[in-house]
Structure 1
């Protein structure tokens, strides 16, 4: 019976050291670390590797449920895979152990709460953007294209693909500048 630790941080700028320390103190013999979003399982190769690595009687440990997944469906899919292999899940900082009925109940409840929090955060963000747009404070990404320079280069006889390379923009951007100029003329 082996204790397998899984840690995840969302970005490469974040540090997983605190999670690794906690998992090590709880006896993790093997560690798998992802630097990826928890909103889906996509791009989380170390999680897949940890699940493949686990054998019957092993325990997969994480520090918090949100390190494992951000949706109830992902949490359940992961635990079903683990259960099918005879592997338990322990969440160290939330005192969850899926080898017990109480642990399974807590797991389900906290997973639902985590998903609810993610949905609320998205909703608040969209409301904030809508309000900022309404107040004229949100106009999207600032324009970084020098339309006049692009038009001058085209007028001097440069081909659109050469202009795009020179100004480090997509060729479609060059055509869009030309189209906008014709519309406003």
Structure 2
């Protein structure tokens, strides 16, 4: 029987260390982590690896339910798959496990409440943005990456990988910035 920890954050600039420390403190011998959205299971290779290798009696441990997923159906499907492999799921905050019948019920309710809460937050955010736009104060989110710096490095004949390392982002973000600049200006202006 193994305790296998799973840590996840949604973006590359978020930190996994707090989750990993909690999972180690809970005695997880194996911890898999990834930086990918929890909106769906697509692209979550580490979680898929854990599920594939679960044996009867193993326990998948996460710090919070939303680390498994943001959609109630996905979370319930994951819990069901673990159950099919005769493995358990434990959430540390609040502490709930599928080792008993009540654990399944509590996890189902928590998943539904979390999904409903996310919908309310998005709705309030959308309403706030619309109100701010109406009075002319909404300017959108701040750019996290210095687009001018990316353009300068591109003009210095640096490749996308080098630029990504220099400004602290992914290559894909560099490609998007380059594409946006190419669309808004002529290639010679870069």
Name the TM-score class by shorter chain: 0.7 to 0.9
For structure 2, list consecutive stretches of 5 or more residues without a partner in the other structure. Answer: 143-177
Aligned residue in 2 for 1:92: 92
1:112 partner SS: helix
In structure 1, list runs of 5 or more residues that go unmatched: 143-164, 176-185
Tell me the equivalent position of 2:43: 43
Residue aligning to 1:119: 119
RMSD between superposed Cα atoms in Å = 2.3
1:169 equivalent in structure 2: 182
- Find the counterpart in structure 2 of residue 22 from structure 1: 22
Q: Distance in 2 between matches of 1:103 and 1:87?
A: 13
Task: Please name the residue that 1:107 is paired with.
Answer: 107
Deviation (angstroms), 1:2: 0.9
Residue of structure 2 equivalent to 1:10: 10
- SS state of the match for residue 28, structure 1? coil
Deviation, structure 1 residue 119:
0.5
Spell out the pairing of 1:148-159 with structure 2 (5 A cutoff): none
Aligned residues: 150
Aligned: 1:56 with 2:56: yes
**How far is 1:168 from its partner?**
3.5
SS in 2 for 1:7: strand
Partner of 1:129: 129
Q: Which of the pair has more CA radius of gyration?
A: 1
Q: What is the DSSP-based 3-state SS (H/G/I as helix, E as strand, rest coil) of the residue aligned with 1:169?
A: helix
Displacement of 1:138 after TM fit?
3.2
Deviation at 1:118, TM superposition (A): 0.8
Partner Cα separation in structure 1 for residue 141 and residue 51 of structure 2: 40
> What's the TM-score once normalised by structure 1's chain length?
0.73
Tell me the CA shift for residue 98 of structure 1.
0.5
Write the distance in 2 (CA, Å) between the matches of 1:127 and 1:61: 36
From the superposition, tell whether residues 105 and 139 of structure 1 become closer, same or farther in structure 2 (CA, over 3 Å): same
